[in-house]
Amino acid sequence: MKKKADVVVIGGGITGTAVLAALARYDLECVLVEREPDISMGTTKANSAVLHAGFDAPTGSMKAKMNARGNEMYHELADEFGLDIKWTGSYVCASDDEGVKTLEELKARGEANGVKGLEIIAGDKVRDKEPNLSKDIKAALWAPTAGICWPFGMAIAFAENAIANGAEVVRECEATGIRVEDGKVTAVETTQGDIETRFVVDAAGVYADAVAAMAGDKSFTINPRKGEYILFDKTAKDSLVSSVVFPVPTKTSKGILVCATTHGNVFIGPNAQDDCGREDVSVTPAGMDEIIAGAKRLVPNIPMGASITEFAGLRAVSSTGDFILGESDAADGLLLAAGIQSPGLTSAPAIAEYLTDIIVKKTGAKERTNYVKGHKAAPVFREASDEEKAALIAKDARYGRVICRCETITEGEIVEAIHGLCGATTVDGVKRRTRAGMGRCQGGFCGPRVIEILSRELGKRVPEIRKDGVKSYMYYDKSYDGGDAK
Amino acid sequence: MTEKKIYDIVIIGGGPGGLSAAKSAAENGAKSILVLERDREVGGILQQCVHNGFGLHHFKEELTGPGYAQKCYDLVKDRLEVEIMTDTMVLHIRESEGTKVVTAVNPKNGLMNVEGKTVILTMGCRERTRGAIRIPGYRPAGVYTAGAAQRMVNMEGYLPGHKIVILGSGDIGLIMARRMSLEGCKVEAVLEICPFSNGLTRNIVQCLNDYDIPLYLSHTITGIKGKDRVEGVTVSKVDDKMRPIAGTEFDIDCDTILLSVGLIPENELSRELGVAIHPRTNGPVVDQHRETSMDGVFAAGNVVHVHDLVDFVSDEAEIAGKFAAIKANGEAQPAKKDIAVNPGDGVNTCVPQHIRLADGADESVRLFMRARSPERKVTLHITDANGDVMKKPLPIVKPSEMIAVDIPAAKVKALAGDVTVSIEGGK
């Protein structure tokens, strides 16, 4: 790990990695520290994966500004970074007159926020596009600029681009302190040693307040709000939706949606549960009942037999209700990216641009002359044409061995994911990069094989291989040593 | 893309079903049979079933899982008609001008299309997961399907943990309770949401009772503790609708949860091909020859309906192999009569779902059934449009144990209208 840097980014979620990629365009020494064994393990791995159009946030708020700019930027970044994004558009569905009135308000607010193409359409027209929606839906707000994405893939693309440009991503490295001398940030203390630096970007998600407090900024708190989800098998796709379908929003959230994923699955959720602590990502029977009931108001026949997994994520809700962005008043050199709840995923590149501009102005950093542009997505066997498949196997025979049956993921793709610039070190890390284990059998078949490949490629023994978290070891040695096997 | 000759039969899956089908097909006149197996070796899930108890019906001797697989393999390995390709994954099957085109991939041959006059589907089944049954709680390491853990313990040589709770009393769960005990682990409990076990009686006795492992009927897991690694479970009693009863919760400390909560026939390829799938078995609708709704497409074993004994898988696959061979040789007689076989009272599933008879057909038909609930001293009653076909007293039936009954050839010939199979005299 570098002992000295210009900028240290704390937190490897979508915000931290987007910031790192934006900084990497400039001649700056950057380090990102992440406490978990992989990036994108907090809110980034458990959210709705929606790129919002931008009509929800109050006009003039940071959320509204960043959402609009972020959405616009993703339209350009998608190609450059090989991001997995589908611009499906979204519907907000109203079933009564009051709801229809809210649609009008949302439309007006969206237009004030600069969202293009908003349109209120009749229920029948909505059902022409999404035939499984409830007959009770009277009208919907159609937002053509909304989309769905693969958040982990985006964080990895951002991180790997930054690494290609000289940045360092240090995982299993927890920030434990920020040194401030004469009102200025001088170093970040971590579990792997200190890094001298002039700038710290706090992108620590649900811990952003704790990180800011390390530098003396106690001006805000983060109050995590849990959201639970149920994911459905691809076979259920035809009985659900192919885009993003919201109900009319409530005060605390955009409501329980029914939403397609970029790989042909569909999920329902999330609910919104406050006072849940910073680590509680458990799913609850009450939560699942709530999201099933909520989803049924949009799609009456939810094929519950086709559910393949449930999960929960935490929204980093700030005490101000808005994103907290920019320079901290408490310490010169501390930059905040706090309170990044929805539409945080959409806003990430805009937040990165905003913070990078501040640092560039303060340092006078120049654009990197040898900047390596973009990110090349790894080959995806199942999406390749027959000719491409044959070519992949001819180049590397391991592309001819299917490891994950449900998603048709080959050994070649898994090996590639492990040896990427920000490669997978865990079973779930392989899953997030390749989808191996993400299908209907949830790793029942490929799990042991992925462990074997990780063990071989990383030169580690099987008992050292982890599922996801720092201590998530999966298998143990047997008590006997096999000595008498002969 | 390598284009190959047209095989008489392409068999998808080299487990006991595929191998038994290949053997029978070769014995019944098929000249070229290709078995495609996705694993490194044939034998399917039997490879990891190191316990005994296999083969009593089919081979008339008691074998281990690998022993049974070896026997199936030995019966085809020297047959010139049978070609086996391992490490090969089938991606698609489609119908093209009367032949079946199978797209498969392996590291050696790359992507290939192989053609068959007929296809036999023997892909087996997979385990239902945590997600499918929606267990609340965290998602730490230490939650495995019993079969995945079995593979790690028996084939790779590692333990999934040391203090084990098993959810579901299906056979793999029971076998794993014993296996983990033998490995020196403590199995704290086996939990079953139903008021009865879903495993074979012999497994309850030999795998739980012999090791003093408690079986909690009408109980389920309502919480998983531990963020990185399992630290314990919350268990609740359930009511007769299988809903947890508030106030009955208790905790068990454990580091591992094994799931044995059902098996699902693996029919993604079948669905894509366009084979009709039965909503209750989740497998292809088949006739007594194990031909599906598509001409020349056969299916047998756990892909059709999940069996309790591998012996029945082999029996069924031999039927499919024989009739696929006859079809490939152009000797199949057109069916003139199509009799539906419907499950009646007390019967959950019944295979085959059709009996299709050619003129002058002279064949007995074996029906496989699963009872709806455990009962004693009942009568299996088969009727058709004319009334009684046959009755058979059964001392005991359980949903976990397959019932097999043969309708003799003379009675098959005389069948009139659709057939209903019921279990009478239960509660």
pLDDT tier at B251, thresholds 50, 70, 90: very high
Distances (CA, A) of A131 to A245, A304, B63: 12, 18, 54
User: Considering CB atoms only, which of A235, A386, A408 is closest to B1?
Assistant: A386
Query: pLDDT (tens digit, 9 = 90+) per residue, B286-345?
Result: 999 999 999 999 999 999 999 999 999 999 999 999 999 999 999 999 999 999 999 999
B156 vs A contacts (CB less than 8 Å): 448, 452, 462, 475
- The tokens of A341 are what? 């709840």
Mean pLDDT, range A346-355, rounded to an integer: 98
In Å, how far is B294's CA from the nearest CA of chain A? 21
Q: Is the pTM of this model over 0.80?
A: yes
Q: For residue A482, what pLDDT is reported?
A: 46
User: CB–CB of A400 and B161 under 8 A?
Assistant: no
Q: For residue A479, what pLDDT is reported?
A: 67
Q: For residue B170, what pLDDT is reported?
A: 87
pLDDT tier at A115, thresholds 50, 70, 90: very high
Residue of B nearest to A485 (CA): B157
Pairing of strands A7-10, A119-122: unpaired
Query: pLDDT (tens digit, 9 = 90+) per residue, B122-151?
Result: 999 999 988 888 899 999 999 999 999 999
A425 vs B contacts (CB less than 8 Å): none
User: Considering CB atoms only, which of A402, A406, A447 is closest to B38?
Assistant: A402
B158 vs A contacts (CB less than 8 Å): 462-463, 475-478
Query: pLDDT (tens digit, 9 = 90+) per residue, A199-254?
Result: 999 999 999 999 999 999 999 999 999 999 999 999 898 999 999 999 998 777 78
Cβ count near B108 (within 10 Å)? 12
* Residue A419 annotated in active site: no
Q: For residue A251, what pLDDT is reported?
A: 75
User: CB–CB of A282 and B224 under 8 A?
Assistant: yes
User: CB–CB of A400 and B38 under 8 A?
Assistant: no
Query: Which of A231, A62, A67, A262 shows the shortest CA–CA distance to A154?
Result: A262
Q: CA B318, B323, B325 angle in degrees (round to 5)?
A: 95
Query: pLDDT (tens digit, 9 = 90+) per residue, A415-442?
Result: 999 999 999 999 999 999 999 999 888 8
Bridge partner residues of B405 (DSSP): B367
A295 vs B contacts (CB less than 8 Å): none
- Pairwise CA distance, residues B148 & A444, whole Å: 6
- Pairwise CA distance, residues A400 & A381, whole Å: 9
The torsion angle over the Cα atoms of residues B413, B415, B420 and B423, rounded to 10 degrees, is: -60
- Pairwise CA distance, residues A142 & A126, whole Å: 9
- Pairwise CA distance, residues A232 & A237, whole Å: 8
**B206 Cβ neighbours under 8 A, 6+ residues apart:** B178
Residue B130 burial by Cβ neighbours in a 10 Å radius (0-12, 13-18, 19+): buried
Cβ count near A223 (within 10 Å)? 18
- Pairwise CA distance, residues A422 & A348, whole Å: 19
Write a three-state SS string for chain A: CCCECCEEEECCCHHHHHHHHHHCCECCCEEEEECCCCCCCCHHHCCCCEECCCCCCCCCCHHHHHHHHHHHHHHHHHHHCCCCEECCCEEEEECCHHHHHHHHHHHHHHHHCCCCCCEEEEHHHHHHHCCCCCCCCCEEEEECCCEEECHHHHHHHHHHHHHHCCCEEEECCCEEEEEEECCEEEEEEECCEEEECCEEEECCHHHHHHHHHHCCCCCCCECCEEEEEEEECHHHHHHCCCCEEEECCCCCCCCCEEEECCCCCEEEECCCECCCCCCCCCECHHHHHHHHHHHHHHCCCCCHHHEEEEEEEEECCECCCCCEEEECCCCECEEEEECCCCCHHHHHHHHHHHHHHHHHHHHCCCECCCCCCCCCCCCCHHHCCHHHHHHHHHHCHHHHCEEECCCCEEHHHHHHHHCCCCCCCCHHHHHHHHCCCCCCCCCCCCHHHHHHHHHHHHCCCHHHCECCCCCCECCEECCCCCCCCC
Residue of A nearest to B282 (CA): A305
The torsion angle over the Cα atoms of residues A242, A247, A251 and A253, rounded to 10 degrees, is: -20
Q: What percent of chain B has pLDDT over 70?
A: 99
Query: For B228, what's the count of Cα atoms within 13 Å in the CB-facing half-sphere?
Result: 10
Q: What is chain A's length?
A: 486
- Pairwise CA distance, residues B170 & B185, whole Å: 20
Q: For residue B427, what pLDDT is reported?
A: 64
Q: What percent of chain B has pLDDT over 90?
A: 93
User: CB–CB of B106 and A401 under 8 A?
Assistant: yes
Cβ atoms of B421 and B367 within 8 Å: the answer is yes
Q: For residue A483, what pLDDT is reported?
A: 46
First to last CA, chain A: 46
Cβ atoms of A356 and A19 within 8 Å: the answer is yes
Q: For residue A475, what pLDDT is reported?
A: 96
Cβ atoms of B355 and B419 within 8 Å: the answer is yes
Phi then psi for residue A38, to 5 deg, are -145, 160
Mean pLDDT, range A67-77, rounded to an integer: 97
Distances (CA, A) of A171 to A39, A40, A217, B71, B228: 7, 11, 25, 50, 16
Phi then psi for residue A193, to 5 deg, are 115, 175
Q: For residue A485, what pLDDT is reported?
A: 38
pLDDT tier at A481, thresholds 50, 70, 90: low
Query: For B26, what's the count of Cα atoms within 13 Å in the CB-facing half-sphere?
Result: 19
Bridge partner residues of B297 (DSSP): B119
- The tokens of A23 are what? 């900084």
Residue B48 in 3-state DSSP?
helix
A477 vs B contacts (CB less than 8 Å): 158-159
Q: For residue A486, what pLDDT is reported?
A: 33
DSSP-derived secondary structure letter, B299: E
- Pairwise CA distance, residues B368 & B305, whole Å: 9
- Pairwise CA distance, residues A260 & B245, whole Å: 35
Mean pLDDT (chain A) is 95
- Pairwise CA distance, residues A317 & A326, whole Å: 17
User: CB–CB of A478 and B157 under 8 A?
Assistant: yes
Mean pLDDT, range A101-117, rounded to an integer: 97
Q: For residue B42, what pLDDT is reported?
A: 97
Residue B230 in 3-state DSSP?
coil
Mean pLDDT (chain B) is 95
User: CB–CB of A477 and B159 under 8 A?
Assistant: yes
Mean pLDDT, range B66-77, rounded to an integer: 98
User: CB–CB of B151 and A448 under 8 A?
Assistant: yes
- Pairwise CA distance, residues B268 & B278, whole Å: 13
Query: pLDDT (tens digit, 9 = 90+) per residue, B264-280?
Result: 999 999 999 999 999 99
Residue of A nearest to B256 (CA): A474
B160 vs A contacts (CB less than 8 Å): 474-476
CB contacts < 8 A (A, B):
142
In Å, how far is B3's CA from the nearest CA of chain A? 13
Mean pLDDT, range B99-104, rounded to an integer: 97
Residue of B nearest to A278 (CA): B227
- Pairwise CA distance, residues B407 & B390, whole Å: 8
**Best residue in A401, A410, A452, A454 to probe B by mutation, most B CBs within 10 Å?**
A401
What is the distance, to the nearest Å, from the Cα of residue B212 to the centroid of all Cα atoms in its chain?
29
**A468 Cβ neighbours under 8 A, 6+ residues apart:** A36, A37, A38, A41, A426, A427, A428, A429, B141, B228
Residue B306 in 3-state DSSP?
coil
Q: For residue A484, what pLDDT is reported?
A: 44
**Best residue in A410, A474, A481 to probe B by mutation, most B CBs within 10 Å?**
A474
User: CB–CB of A476 and B228 under 8 A?
Assistant: no
Regarding an ipTM greater than 0.95, the answer is no
A350 pLDDT exceeds 60? Answer: yes
Residue of B nearest to A470 (CA): B228
- Pairwise CA distance, residues A445 & B45, whole Å: 11
Residue of B nearest to A467 (CA): B141
A285 vs B contacts (CB less than 8 Å): 136, 222, 244
Cβ atoms of B256 and B230 within 8 Å: the answer is yes
Mean pLDDT, range A49-64, rounded to an integer: 97
> What is the side-by-side order of every strand in the sheet holding B354-358?
B354-358, B335-343, B419-424, B375-384, B387-397
Mean pLDDT, range B182-204, rounded to an integer: 93
Phi then psi for residue A462, to 5 deg, are -55, -45
The torsion angle over the Cα atoms of residues B53, B58, B59 and B63, rounded to 10 degrees, is: -20
Mean pLDDT, range B199-217, rounded to an integer: 94
